[in-house]
Amino acid sequence: MEALTGMSGQQLNDGYFGEFGEFGGSFVPPELQEVLAYLNEQFLKFKDDPEFIEEYRYYLREYVGRENPLTYAQRLSETWGGAKIYLKREDLNHTGAHKINNVVGQILLAKRMGAKRVIAETGAGQHGVATATACAMFGMECVIYMGAEDTRRQALNVFRMELLGATVVPVAKGQGRLKDAVDEALDDLVRNYKSTFYLLGSAVGPHPFPTMVKHFQSVVSEESKRQILEKEGRLPDAVIACVGGGSNAIGAFAHYLDEPSVRLIGVEPDQAPTLTEGVPSVIHGFKCLVLLDEEGQPRKTYSIAAGLDYPGIGPEHSHLKVTGRAEYVTVSNEEVLAAFQELSGTEGIIPALESAHAVAHAKKLAPTMNRDQIIVVNLSGRGDKDVEQVFHMLKR
Protein backbone atom coordinates (compact mmCIF):
# COMPACT_ATOMS: atom_id res chain seq x y z
CA MET A 1 0.00 0.00 0.00
CA GLU A 2 2.17 2.83 -1.31
CA ALA A 3 0.20 5.69 0.20
CA LEU A 4 0.78 4.31 3.68
CA THR A 5 4.27 2.87 3.37
CA GLY A 6 6.14 5.40 1.26
CA MET A 7 9.63 5.74 2.68
CA SER A 8 10.66 9.21 1.53
CA GLY A 9 10.12 10.63 5.01
CA GLN A 10 8.16 13.51 3.44
CA GLN A 11 4.73 14.52 4.61
CA LEU A 12 2.12 12.69 2.51
CA ASN A 13 -1.15 14.44 1.70
CA ASP A 14 -2.25 16.32 4.82
CA GLY A 15 -0.14 14.35 7.30
CA TYR A 16 0.77 16.00 10.57
CA PHE A 17 3.21 15.27 13.35
CA GLY A 18 1.81 14.00 16.60
CA GLU A 19 2.72 14.64 20.19
CA PHE A 20 5.91 12.54 20.41
CA GLY A 21 8.49 15.10 19.33
CA GLU A 22 9.20 14.63 15.62
CA PHE A 23 7.56 11.21 15.58
CA GLY A 24 3.98 10.06 15.07
CA GLY A 25 1.51 11.82 12.82
CA SER A 26 -0.97 10.57 10.26
CA PHE A 27 0.35 10.06 6.72
CA VAL A 28 -2.73 8.62 5.03
CA PRO A 29 -5.10 9.25 2.10
CA PRO A 30 -7.64 12.04 2.76
CA GLU A 31 -10.64 9.70 2.99
CA LEU A 32 -8.91 7.61 5.64
CA GLN A 33 -7.86 10.75 7.51
CA GLU A 34 -11.53 11.57 7.97
CA VAL A 35 -12.10 8.13 9.51
CA LEU A 36 -9.13 8.52 11.85
CA ALA A 37 -10.24 12.02 12.86
CA TYR A 38 -13.66 10.61 13.79
CA LEU A 39 -12.01 7.73 15.67
CA ASN A 40 -9.91 10.23 17.63
CA GLU A 41 -12.98 12.31 18.39
CA GLN A 42 -14.82 9.26 19.74
CA PHE A 43 -11.78 8.08 21.74
CA LEU A 44 -11.40 11.49 23.38
CA LYS A 45 -15.14 11.56 24.06
CA PHE A 46 -15.28 8.19 25.81
CA LYS A 47 -11.87 7.62 27.43
CA ASP A 48 -12.75 9.77 30.45
CA ASP A 49 -16.47 9.02 30.42
CA PRO A 50 -17.42 7.49 33.81
CA GLU A 51 -19.78 4.93 32.25
CA PHE A 52 -17.14 3.83 29.71
CA ILE A 53 -14.48 3.58 32.42
CA GLU A 54 -16.80 1.57 34.66
CA GLU A 55 -17.57 -0.89 31.84
CA TYR A 56 -13.89 -1.16 30.88
CA ARG A 57 -12.87 -1.85 34.48
CA TYR A 58 -15.70 -4.38 34.80
CA TYR A 59 -14.42 -6.44 31.88
CA LEU A 60 -10.78 -6.13 33.02
CA ARG A 61 -11.83 -7.55 36.38
CA GLU A 62 -14.50 -10.10 35.46
CA TYR A 63 -13.26 -11.25 32.03
CA VAL A 64 -9.53 -10.56 31.82
CA GLY A 65 -8.88 -11.42 35.48
CA ARG A 66 -7.12 -8.22 36.58
CA GLU A 67 -5.45 -7.12 38.62
CA ASN A 68 -2.71 -9.65 38.09
CA PRO A 69 0.14 -10.17 40.58
CA LEU A 70 3.55 -8.54 40.81
CA THR A 71 5.43 -11.69 41.78
CA TYR A 72 8.74 -11.69 43.63
CA ALA A 73 10.95 -14.19 41.79
CA GLN A 74 12.93 -15.28 44.83
CA ARG A 75 14.79 -18.24 43.37
CA LEU A 76 15.68 -16.34 40.21
CA SER A 77 16.94 -13.42 42.30
CA GLU A 78 19.07 -15.73 44.43
CA THR A 79 20.43 -17.57 41.38
CA TRP A 80 21.46 -14.41 39.53
CA GLY A 81 22.59 -12.38 42.54
CA GLY A 82 22.28 -8.63 42.80
CA ALA A 83 18.91 -6.94 42.37
CA LYS A 84 15.56 -8.34 43.44
CA ILE A 85 13.49 -9.48 40.45
CA TYR A 86 9.75 -8.88 40.34
CA LEU A 87 7.59 -10.20 37.49
CA LYS A 88 4.49 -8.33 36.35
CA ARG A 89 2.27 -11.27 35.45
CA GLU A 90 0.52 -10.33 32.20
CA ASP A 91 0.88 -14.02 31.33
CA LEU A 92 -2.00 -14.71 33.74
CA ASN A 93 -4.52 -12.64 31.77
CA HIS A 94 -7.33 -14.36 29.90
CA THR A 95 -5.92 -15.32 26.46
CA GLY A 96 -2.41 -15.39 27.92
CA ALA A 97 -0.89 -11.98 27.24
CA HIS A 98 -1.12 -8.22 27.69
CA LYS A 99 -2.92 -7.80 24.36
CA ILE A 100 -6.38 -8.27 25.88
CA ASN A 101 -6.05 -5.02 27.89
CA ASN A 102 -6.10 -2.93 24.72
CA VAL A 103 -8.58 -5.16 22.91
CA VAL A 104 -11.22 -4.78 25.61
CA GLY A 105 -10.88 -0.99 25.52
CA GLN A 106 -11.06 -0.75 21.74
CA ILE A 107 -13.91 -3.25 21.37
CA LEU A 108 -16.00 -1.20 23.81
CA LEU A 109 -15.20 1.88 21.71
CA ALA A 110 -16.12 -0.01 18.52
CA LYS A 111 -19.43 -1.01 20.09
CA ARG A 112 -20.26 2.62 20.89
CA MET A 113 -19.36 3.60 17.32
CA GLY A 114 -21.82 1.03 15.97
CA ALA A 115 -19.23 -1.25 14.31
CA LYS A 116 -20.30 -4.72 13.23
CA ARG A 117 -17.08 -5.81 11.52
CA VAL A 118 -13.67 -5.77 13.20
CA ILE A 119 -10.29 -6.39 11.56
CA ALA A 120 -6.88 -6.80 13.15
CA GLU A 121 -3.29 -7.74 12.39
CA THR A 122 -1.25 -10.22 14.41
CA GLY A 123 2.31 -11.53 14.51
CA ALA A 124 2.67 -14.04 17.33
CA GLY A 125 -1.09 -14.53 17.27
CA GLN A 126 -1.82 -13.23 20.77
CA HIS A 127 -3.46 -10.02 19.55
CA GLY A 128 -5.43 -12.05 17.02
CA VAL A 129 -6.61 -14.44 19.73
CA ALA A 130 -7.55 -11.56 22.03
CA THR A 131 -9.45 -9.77 19.23
CA ALA A 132 -11.26 -12.96 18.20
CA THR A 133 -12.16 -13.56 21.86
CA ALA A 134 -13.67 -10.11 22.30
CA CYS A 135 -15.53 -10.30 18.98
CA ALA A 136 -17.01 -13.64 20.03
CA MET A 137 -18.16 -12.11 23.32
CA PHE A 138 -19.84 -9.14 21.59
CA GLY A 139 -21.07 -10.98 18.48
CA MET A 140 -19.02 -9.07 15.91
CA GLU A 141 -17.61 -10.30 12.60
CA CYS A 142 -13.85 -10.73 12.95
CA VAL A 143 -11.12 -10.90 10.29
CA ILE A 144 -7.48 -11.39 11.31
CA TYR A 145 -4.55 -10.76 8.94
CA MET A 146 -1.46 -12.80 9.72
CA GLY A 147 1.76 -13.35 7.81
CA ALA A 148 1.88 -16.77 6.15
CA GLU A 149 5.21 -17.54 7.83
CA ASP A 150 3.71 -16.63 11.20
CA THR A 151 0.68 -18.85 10.61
CA ARG A 152 3.12 -21.74 10.25
CA ARG A 153 5.11 -20.82 13.36
CA GLN A 154 1.98 -20.15 15.41
CA ALA A 155 -0.41 -22.78 14.05
CA LEU A 156 -1.98 -23.36 17.46
CA ASN A 157 -2.97 -19.70 17.74
CA VAL A 158 -4.44 -19.83 14.23
CA PHE A 159 -6.65 -22.70 15.39
CA ARG A 160 -7.64 -20.75 18.50
CA MET A 161 -8.72 -17.77 16.40
CA GLU A 162 -10.76 -19.96 14.08
CA LEU A 163 -12.28 -21.78 17.05
CA LEU A 164 -13.41 -18.40 18.34
CA GLY A 165 -15.16 -17.69 15.04
CA ALA A 166 -12.60 -15.45 13.34
CA THR A 167 -11.54 -15.65 9.71
CA VAL A 168 -7.74 -15.83 9.54
CA VAL A 169 -6.27 -14.48 6.29
CA PRO A 170 -2.67 -15.65 5.65
CA VAL A 171 -0.57 -12.97 3.93
CA ALA A 172 2.02 -14.52 1.63
CA LYS A 173 3.52 -11.38 0.11
CA GLY A 174 6.81 -9.93 1.32
CA GLN A 175 8.33 -11.97 4.11
CA GLY A 176 4.93 -13.25 5.20
CA ARG A 177 5.36 -11.63 8.62
CA LEU A 178 3.89 -8.88 10.78
CA LYS A 179 4.70 -5.93 8.49
CA ASP A 180 2.92 -7.65 5.62
CA ALA A 181 -0.12 -8.39 7.80
CA VAL A 182 -0.31 -4.69 8.74
CA ASP A 183 -0.13 -3.77 5.04
CA GLU A 184 -3.14 -5.96 4.28
CA ALA A 185 -5.14 -4.77 7.29
CA LEU A 186 -4.62 -1.14 6.28
CA ASP A 187 -5.60 -1.94 2.69
CA ASP A 188 -8.80 -3.50 4.04
CA LEU A 189 -9.51 -0.42 6.15
CA VAL A 190 -9.10 1.91 3.16
CA ARG A 191 -11.52 -0.23 1.12
CA ASN A 192 -14.07 -0.76 3.90
CA TYR A 193 -13.66 2.18 6.28
CA LYS A 194 -17.39 2.95 6.32
CA SER A 195 -18.27 -0.39 7.90
CA THR A 196 -15.07 -1.60 9.58
CA PHE A 197 -13.27 -0.93 12.87
CA TYR A 198 -9.52 -1.61 12.73
CA LEU A 199 -8.50 -2.89 16.15
CA LEU A 200 -4.77 -2.26 15.94
CA GLY A 201 -2.78 -4.28 18.45
CA SER A 202 0.47 -2.40 18.96
CA ALA A 203 1.45 1.18 19.74
CA VAL A 204 2.09 1.91 16.06
CA GLY A 205 0.18 3.27 13.08
CA PRO A 206 -1.26 6.70 12.29
CA HIS A 207 -2.70 8.93 15.01
CA PRO A 208 -4.68 8.19 17.19
CA PHE A 209 -3.70 4.49 17.39
CA PRO A 210 -0.44 4.85 19.38
CA THR A 211 -2.17 7.09 21.93
CA MET A 212 -5.16 4.77 22.22
CA VAL A 213 -3.06 1.66 22.70
CA LYS A 214 -0.89 3.36 25.33
CA HIS A 215 -3.99 4.54 27.17
CA PHE A 216 -5.46 1.05 27.44
CA GLN A 217 -2.14 -0.68 28.15
CA SER A 218 -1.14 1.80 30.86
CA VAL A 219 -3.10 -0.33 33.32
CA VAL A 220 0.05 -2.49 33.47
CA SER A 221 2.24 0.22 35.05
CA GLU A 222 -0.69 1.70 36.97
CA GLU A 223 -0.89 -1.60 38.84
CA SER A 224 2.82 -2.38 39.07
CA LYS A 225 3.64 1.04 40.49
CA ARG A 226 1.05 0.69 43.23
CA GLN A 227 2.03 -2.92 43.90
CA ILE A 228 5.77 -2.27 44.25
CA LEU A 229 5.09 0.62 46.62
CA GLU A 230 2.94 -1.70 48.72
CA LYS A 231 5.54 -4.49 48.70
CA GLU A 232 8.79 -2.54 48.97
CA GLY A 233 7.78 0.96 50.02
CA ARG A 234 9.58 2.51 47.06
CA LEU A 235 9.79 2.60 43.28
CA PRO A 236 11.84 0.06 41.30
CA ASP A 237 15.29 0.97 40.02
CA ALA A 238 14.51 -0.41 36.56
CA VAL A 239 11.54 -1.59 34.51
CA ILE A 240 12.35 -3.97 31.64
CA ALA A 241 10.07 -5.02 28.77
CA CYS A 242 10.51 -6.56 25.33
CA VAL A 243 9.87 -4.31 22.32
CA GLY A 244 8.46 -5.26 18.92
CA GLY A 245 5.87 -2.66 17.99
CA GLY A 246 5.96 -1.49 21.58
CA SER A 247 2.55 -2.00 23.22
CA ASN A 248 3.56 -4.00 26.29
CA ALA A 249 6.62 -1.83 26.85
CA ILE A 250 4.77 1.49 26.62
CA GLY A 251 2.15 0.09 28.99
CA ALA A 252 4.86 -1.05 31.39
CA PHE A 253 6.63 2.34 31.20
CA ALA A 254 3.64 4.74 31.17
CA HIS A 255 3.26 5.53 34.88
CA TYR A 256 7.03 5.72 35.40
CA LEU A 257 7.76 8.23 32.63
CA ASP A 258 7.71 11.10 35.10
CA GLU A 259 9.85 9.20 37.63
CA PRO A 260 13.45 9.98 36.59
CA SER A 261 14.90 7.61 39.20
CA VAL A 262 13.39 4.63 37.34
CA ARG A 263 15.39 3.31 34.39
CA LEU A 264 13.15 2.24 31.50
CA ILE A 265 14.73 -0.47 29.36
CA GLY A 266 13.31 -1.95 26.16
CA VAL A 267 14.77 -5.17 24.79
CA GLU A 268 14.84 -6.03 21.07
CA PRO A 269 16.02 -9.06 19.07
CA ASP A 270 19.53 -8.54 17.70
CA GLN A 271 18.16 -9.44 14.26
CA ALA A 272 15.49 -6.72 14.39
CA PRO A 273 17.27 -3.85 16.19
CA THR A 274 14.93 -1.01 15.20
CA LEU A 275 15.72 1.29 18.10
CA THR A 276 19.42 0.53 17.92
CA GLU A 277 19.94 0.99 14.16
CA GLY A 278 16.73 2.60 12.85
CA VAL A 279 16.50 6.02 11.23
CA PRO A 280 13.54 8.44 11.13
CA SER A 281 11.16 7.58 8.29
CA VAL A 282 7.51 6.89 7.49
CA ILE A 283 5.97 3.44 7.61
CA HIS A 284 2.31 2.40 7.79
CA GLY A 285 1.08 5.97 7.98
CA PHE A 286 3.27 7.32 10.79
CA LYS A 287 6.82 8.51 11.40
CA CYS A 288 9.17 6.52 13.64
CA LEU A 289 12.59 4.93 13.68
CA VAL A 290 12.67 2.35 10.88
CA LEU A 291 15.17 -0.25 9.73
CA LEU A 292 15.85 0.60 6.07
CA ASP A 293 17.80 -1.21 3.38
CA GLU A 294 20.10 0.39 0.79
CA GLU A 295 17.10 1.35 -1.36
CA GLY A 296 15.28 3.10 1.48
CA GLN A 297 12.71 0.33 1.91
CA PRO A 298 11.91 -1.53 5.17
CA ARG A 299 14.71 -3.98 5.85
CA LYS A 300 13.98 -7.68 6.17
CA THR A 301 13.98 -8.66 9.83
CA TYR A 302 13.81 -11.86 11.83
CA SER A 303 13.15 -12.95 15.38
CA ILE A 304 12.49 -16.34 16.91
CA ALA A 305 9.62 -14.49 18.60
CA ALA A 306 7.02 -13.78 15.91
CA GLY A 307 5.79 -10.65 17.68
CA LEU A 308 9.16 -8.87 17.62
CA ASP A 309 10.19 -8.74 13.95
CA TYR A 310 8.49 -5.49 12.93
CA PRO A 311 10.91 -3.15 11.06
CA GLY A 312 9.43 -0.03 12.69
CA ILE A 313 8.56 0.89 16.26
CA GLY A 314 6.00 2.93 18.14
CA PRO A 315 6.50 6.70 17.78
CA GLU A 316 6.66 7.27 21.52
CA HIS A 317 9.45 4.70 21.85
CA SER A 318 11.26 6.54 19.05
CA HIS A 319 10.90 9.75 21.04
CA LEU A 320 12.01 8.11 24.30
CA LYS A 321 15.07 6.78 22.49
CA VAL A 322 16.23 10.06 20.95
CA THR A 323 15.57 12.02 24.14
CA GLY A 324 17.36 9.44 26.26
CA ARG A 325 14.48 8.87 28.69
CA ALA A 326 14.47 5.14 27.88
CA GLU A 327 17.30 2.77 27.01
CA TYR A 328 17.03 0.12 24.32
CA VAL A 329 19.26 -2.94 24.07
CA THR A 330 19.41 -6.17 22.08
CA VAL A 331 19.77 -9.83 23.03
CA SER A 332 20.61 -12.87 20.94
CA ASN A 333 18.46 -15.89 20.16
CA GLU A 334 20.76 -18.02 22.31
CA GLU A 335 20.29 -15.71 25.30
CA VAL A 336 16.52 -15.77 24.80
CA LEU A 337 16.33 -19.56 24.67
CA ALA A 338 18.48 -19.79 27.80
CA ALA A 339 16.21 -17.32 29.62
CA PHE A 340 13.11 -19.21 28.44
CA GLN A 341 14.45 -22.40 29.98
CA GLU A 342 15.82 -20.78 33.14
CA LEU A 343 12.61 -19.01 34.13
CA SER A 344 10.67 -22.20 33.45
CA GLY A 345 12.98 -24.37 35.54
CA THR A 346 13.64 -21.89 38.34
CA GLU A 347 10.24 -20.30 38.97
CA GLY A 348 7.84 -22.71 37.27
CA ILE A 349 6.73 -20.01 34.84
CA ILE A 350 7.00 -20.66 31.09
CA PRO A 351 7.28 -17.26 29.38
CA ALA A 352 6.42 -16.28 25.83
CA LEU A 353 9.52 -16.04 23.64
CA GLU A 354 8.81 -12.31 23.38
CA SER A 355 8.86 -11.96 27.17
CA ALA A 356 11.99 -14.10 27.41
CA HIS A 357 13.86 -11.24 25.70
CA ALA A 358 13.18 -9.06 28.75
CA VAL A 359 14.17 -11.90 31.09
CA ALA A 360 17.42 -12.38 29.15
CA HIS A 361 18.47 -8.78 29.69
CA ALA A 362 17.41 -8.82 33.34
CA LYS A 363 19.77 -11.76 33.80
CA LYS A 364 22.65 -9.59 32.57
CA LEU A 365 21.63 -6.46 34.49
CA ALA A 366 20.74 -7.90 37.91
CA PRO A 367 24.27 -9.01 38.93
CA THR A 368 25.59 -5.48 38.27
CA MET A 369 23.21 -4.09 40.91
CA ASN A 370 23.12 -4.50 44.68
CA ARG A 371 20.70 -6.55 46.76
CA ASP A 372 18.71 -3.51 47.83
CA GLN A 373 17.84 -2.60 44.25
CA ILE A 374 14.75 -3.74 42.36
CA ILE A 375 14.01 -4.73 38.76
CA VAL A 376 10.44 -5.12 37.50
CA VAL A 377 10.26 -7.35 34.41
CA ASN A 378 7.05 -7.15 32.41
CA LEU A 379 6.19 -10.77 31.67
CA SER A 380 4.03 -9.85 28.70
CA GLY A 381 2.76 -13.34 27.85
CA ARG A 382 2.93 -17.03 28.59
CA GLY A 383 4.78 -19.57 26.50
CA ASP A 384 2.07 -22.12 25.67
CA LYS A 385 2.11 -20.91 22.06
CA ASP A 386 5.90 -21.30 21.83
CA VAL A 387 6.61 -24.62 23.53
CA GLU A 388 6.44 -26.72 20.35
CA GLN A 389 8.62 -24.24 18.44
CA VAL A 390 11.20 -24.20 21.23
CA PHE A 391 11.11 -28.01 21.41
CA HIS A 392 12.11 -28.26 17.75
CA MET A 393 14.75 -25.52 18.06
CA LEU A 394 16.41 -27.21 21.03
CA LYS A 395 16.15 -30.61 19.39
CA ARG A 396 18.04 -29.25 16.37
**Where in the sequence numbering do the catalytic residues fall?**
99, 121, 380
Report DSSP state, residue 65: -
Rounded Cα gap, residues 331 and 357, in angstroms: 7
Cβ density class 64-76: b for 16+ within 10 Å, e for less: bebbbebbbbeeb
DSSP codes, 170-229: EE-STTSSHHHHHHHHHHHHHHHTTTEEE---SS-SSTTHHHHHHHHHTHHHHHHHHHHH
Could you tell me if 152 and 140 are in contact, meaning their C-beta atoms sit under 8 angstroms apart?
no
Q: For the purposes of burial, counting CB atoms within 10 Å of the CB of 114, is it exposed (0-12), middle (13-18) or buried (19 or more)? A: exposed
Measured at the CA of 350, the angle between CA 348 and CA 354, to 5 degrees, comes to 145
SS3 (DSSP) at 231: helix
Rounded Cα gap, residues 353 and 381, in angstroms: 8
Interhelix angle 209-217/315-323, nearest 10 degrees? 80
